[in-house]
Amino acid sequence: LGAGQRFLHLAIAHSDRPTQRRDLIISDVSGEFFRQARDSREEARKLAFVGRADHFVLLLDGAKLLSAETRAASRMEADQILRSMLDVALLSDRSYVDVVFTKWDKILGSGERPAIEAFVADTRVLFEERFATRLGRLRFYYTALRTSPSGLLPPGYDVDQLLKPWLEETWLEEAPSRTRTVVASNRSFDRFGETI
Amino acid sequence: VKTALQLIMGLPMAGKTTFLAALWHVVDQPEVPTSLVLHEMPPQREYLNQIRDEWIKCRPVARTALSSQRTVNMVLTDRTTGNTAELLFPDLSGELFASQIADRRWSDDFDRLVQQAAGVLLFLNPASVVEPQAIEDVAALAEALGAPTETVSSAIEPWQHSHVPTQVQLVELLQFLRWRRRTDRMRVGLVVSAWDLIGAGVSPQDWIRQRLPLLHQFLECNSDWLTTATYGISAQGGTYSADTVQALLNGNPRPSKRIVVAGPHCDPHDITAPIKWLLESGE
């Protein structure tokens, strides 16, 4: 793997079914790769592992939504990442995409909460208009991972809702007759799980 | 898909690059109704994203230097007709046009652009218009103020080409085009940028007639080879003062709504209108 690209392996199970383990491989990739993918079709194609993903999770940084200066840019960047992945067919009408608004506790504690919530609602409208028919599934989540000083949300808020579908649902299992995207890479890692 | 090169001309600080940044955002992000929509993402969009990243934050877009000129392309579809065209926009430095006026010559590269151009957008910024000043007007003003009317040689600023009134420079640029494209009709969209400074109550065409009468008369008298339409466009929607920027950012969750467009047959935020008008020449 290149610099800035790591994959984390977690084996997890339901607490009431501890022997039924599921393996999760989660990408830990520098945001710089996605910034470059925004700018160039050639760079987007290099993110071949996206074509193998059972779930594509797009994070919108709640801290950037707090500022009026960076709010619209944050949405635009997320939109461009999704479209650049669709443009090179690493995402398709079979893909499961989760859009996650992070640090939601900060937004709830912000003096600009009404404006930000209206903006997020508008973002959902725009994304649904633009992507709902081009993806297999598009869902939205609001997470707060750390204990916040405001105490408005418990740490780990909404993460279980996000995690559960990752374990139980994959577009491949729901549409077994369909083949996956052919990955344009010779690396064994990128071709993991490819239909032969 | 046909290809059409649209030449974007204007003196330094005329708003050409800010226009391109806003145009890219509007066609890339479907936030407001527009005449033209993006057909597909350009394979290389780094520069467009770079200038748009500044524009979207209400920051001044970096001016194009002579050393960093480039051509950007967008494949756009006319929402009404369904026609699709690849548009090439050379992002040229205003200094290039200032030097053409000063030196009365242009490069072979620019000559090729002129020959290939399907249309022209000519920008002018009302905040940097150099007004003509008649000697008798200055003398009369000095007399009214009680100032000495005799010439004080030490106070005379050496003449520079930048002192030439804006309307004279723009007419000269159009005459250069005429000289090179003498057998063709040309379609020139005139864009008064920073239109927020002018405000409502006057149309862009009337503003040109009142403030730049020589340019207005030139356009009228050369209608045998020159087809024109005049637009007022504020690509940012206001000035870069801190209060205005905050108001623009807070008041427009969809940045495309910051844009102000005035002109024939266009919606109030449709910055693609002049491009659509230029494309009509090829239909």
Q: Are B267 and B51 in contact (CB under 8 A)?
A: no
CA distance B49 to chain A (A): 7
Calpha distance A5→B277 (Å, rounded): 47
Q: What is the mean pLDDT of residues B260-268?
A: 92
Q: pLDDT band at A2, cuts 50/70/90?
A: low
Contacts of B273 (CB under 8 A, 6+ apart): B35, B231, B261, B263, B265, B266, B267
How far apart, in whole angstroms, are the C-alpha atoms of residue B76 and residue A120? 28
pLDDT grade for B150, boundaries at 50, 70 and 90: low
CA B27/CA B72 separation, integer angstroms:
14
Label each residue of chain A as H, E or C. CCCCEEEEEEEECCCCCCCCCEEEEEEEECHHHHHHHHHEHHHHHCCHHHHHCCCEEEEECHHHHHCHHHHHHHHHHHHHHHHHHHHCCCCCCCCEEEEEECCHHHHHCCCCHHHHHHHHHHHHHHHHHHHCCCCCEEEEEECECCCCCCCCCCCCECHHHHHHHHHHCCHHHHCCCCCCCCCCCCCCCCCCCCCC
Reported confidence tier of residue B241, pLDDT bands at 50, 70, 90: very high
What's the whole-number mean pLDDT along residues A22-44? 93
- Shortest Cα–Cα distance, A16 to chain B (Å): 46
Least Cα distance to B55 among B31, B30, B26 occurs for: B26
Gap between the Cα atoms of B56 and B48, Å rounded? 12
| Cβ contacts from A onto B, under 8 A | 54
Residue of A nearest to B26 (CA): A76
Q: If you measure CA to CA, which chain A residue comes closest to B48? A: A39
pLDDT at B162 over 60: yes
Query: Of B189, B205, B178, nearest to B119 (Cα)?
Result: B189
A119-150 burial, b for 16+ CB within 10 Å, e for fewer? Answer: bbeebeebbeebbeeebebbebbbbbeeebee
Instruction: Answer whether residue A163 shows pLDDT above 60.
Output: yes
SS (H, E, C) B256-274: HHHCEEECCCCCCCCCCHH
> How far is the C-alpha of A179 from the C-alpha of A192, rounded, in Å?
14
Name the band, by pLDDT with cuts 50, 70 and 90, for residue B7: very high
Residue A69 forms contact with B (CB below 8 Å): yes
The encoded tokens of residue B145 equal 């103020």
What does DSSP assign to residue B53?
A: H
Tokens linked to A134: 């081009």
- Predicted pLDDT of residue A161: 79
User: Does B36 have pLDDT greater than 90?
Assistant: yes
Mean pLDDT of A81-108: 94
Residue-wise pLDDT for B84-125, tens only, equals: 999 999 999 999 999 999 999 999 999 999 999 999 999 999
Compare CB distances from B43 to A40, A73, A129 and report the shortest one's residue. Answer: A40
Say what the pLDDT of residue A176 is.
45
CB-side neighbour CA atoms (13 Å) of B141: 6
Q: Is the pLDDT of residue B280 over 90?
A: no
3-state helix, strand, coil split of chain B in percent (to 5) is 45, 20, 35
* Rounded Cα distance, B59 and A4, in Å: 30
Kindly report the pTM of this predicted structure.
0.89
pLDDT over 70, % of chain B: 97
Dist CA A31 CA B73 (whole Å): 26
State yes or no: pLDDT of B15 exceeds 80. Answer: yes
Residue A177 has pLDDT above 50, yes or no: no
pLDDT value at residue A160: 76
Asked whether residue A139 carries a pLDDT value surpassing 60, the answer given is yes
Question: How far is residue A60's CA from residue A57's CA, in Å, rounded to a whole number?
Answer: 10
- CA–CA dist B5, B92 (Å, integer): 13
Cβ neighbours of residue B109 under 8 Å, at least 6 residues apart? none
Residues of A in contact with B249 (CB under 8 A): 68-69, 71-72
Residue A173 has pLDDT above 90, yes or no: no
- How confident is the prediction for chain B on average, in pLDDT? 92
At B66 the three-state DSSP class reads helix
What was the pLDDT predicted at A183? 56
Please give the pLDDT value at position A151.
66
Contacts of B58 in chain A (CB under 8 A): 69
A185 touches chain B (CB under 8 A): no
pLDDT tens for each residue of B202-217: 999 999 999 999 999 9
Q: Of A153-157, B79-83, B279-283, which one has max mean pLDDT?
A: B79-83
HSE-up of B109 (CA within 13 Å, CB side)? 7
Please check whether residue A125 is in contact with residue B256, taking contact to mean a CB–CB distance below 8 angstroms: no
Please tell me which of the candidates A68, A71, A84 has its beta carbon nearest to residue B41. Answer: A84
Measured over the CA atoms of residue B44, residue B48, residue B54 and residue B60, the dihedral's sign is positive
Q: Reply yes or no on whether the pLDDT at B233 is more than 90.
A: yes
Nearest in space to A142 (alpha carbons), one of A113, A171, A172: A113
Predicted-complex ipTM score: 0.87
State mean pLDDT over B14-37.
96
- Collect all residues of chain A within an 8 Å Cβ-Cβ radius of residue B52: 76
- Check pLDDT > 80 for residue B153: no
B102's tokens: 């000063």
Q: Does any CB of chain B come closer than 8 Å to the CB of residue A134?
A: no
- State the best of A64, A66, A69, A83 to mutate against chain B, taking most chain B CBs within 10 Å: A69
Say if CB B196 and CB B237 are below 8 A apart.
Answer: yes
Of chain B, the end-to-end C-alpha distance in Å amounts to 13
Share of chain A above pLDDT 90, in %: 58
- Pairing label, strands B226-234, B186-192: parallel
For chain B, say whether A130 makes contact (Cβ under 8 Å). yes
Per the listing, tokens 């950007």 go with B72
Q: In angstroms, rounded to a whole number, what is the distance separating the alpha carbons of residues A28 and A2?
A: 12
Res B199 pLDDT > 80: no
What residue of A is the nearest CA neighbor of B49? Answer: A39
Dihedral of alpha carbons B158, B159, B162, B164, sign? positive
A169 has a pLDDT exceeding 70 = no
* Contact (CB<8Å) B49/A39: yes
**Are B28 and A80 within 8 A, CB to CB?**
yes
Give chain A's length.
196
Mutate to test the interface with A, among B57, B245, B246 (most CBs of A within 10 A): B57
B32 near B237, Cβ under 8 Å? no
Strand partners, A8: A26
What is the spatial distance between Cα B278 and Cα B282, in angstroms, rounded to a whole number? 8
